[in-house]
Amino acid sequence: MRGILIAGAAAGFVAVVLDWLINAWLFHDYQKRTPSTWRAEGPKQYLLSMAATFGSGFTYAIFYAWTGGVHLGGELHWLAAGLLFGLGCWMALALPIVLSLAIFVNLHRGCVVGLLLDWLLISLAAGAICSRFL
């Protein structure tokens, strides 16, 4: 249980930092190209978004602990196992969710690329962190 809490908190912290770097800084300007798509932003929205992103770290940690991570052949280095786990999570969840939303929601391509890159890096980092601590 202690390992899940440590891995979850570390993965959550890294997820918030990556989300800020990629979505709030590098790709945020693309939101202006589809203004009617976005709700108003403010401290409450930022806090809720950070809480959800931070919470994802615990989801990765719990899922990693439940599944035992990725053990192809049982002899993977912890980093390779973590990265494969993160890639699998991204491919199973973030990739199809973001792409299916992009089909129906008026998102600029830059927003879609930013979201995909953001969650790919979050997933890879969370997988590596969970593999290291669990």
Rounded distance between C-alpha atoms, residue 18 and residue 118, angstroms: 7
Local confidence pLDDT in tens for the 134 residues of the chain: 899 999 999 999 999 999 999 998 999 889 888 878 888 889 999 999 999 999 999 999 999 999 877 665 567 888 999 999 999 999 999 999 999 999 999 999 999 999 999 999 999 999 999 999 98
pLDDT of residue 34: 84
pLDDT of residue 3: 92
In this structure, the chain runs to a length of 134
User: Residue ranges of the alpha helices (H) in the chain?
Assistant: 2-19, 43-67, 78-89, 95-104, 109-133
pLDDT of residue 8: 97
pLDDT of residue 70: 66
**Amino acid sitting at position 92:** A
Of the chain, the end-to-end C-alpha distance in Å amounts to: 10
Whose tokens are 């600029």? That residue is: 108
pLDDT of residue 40: 85
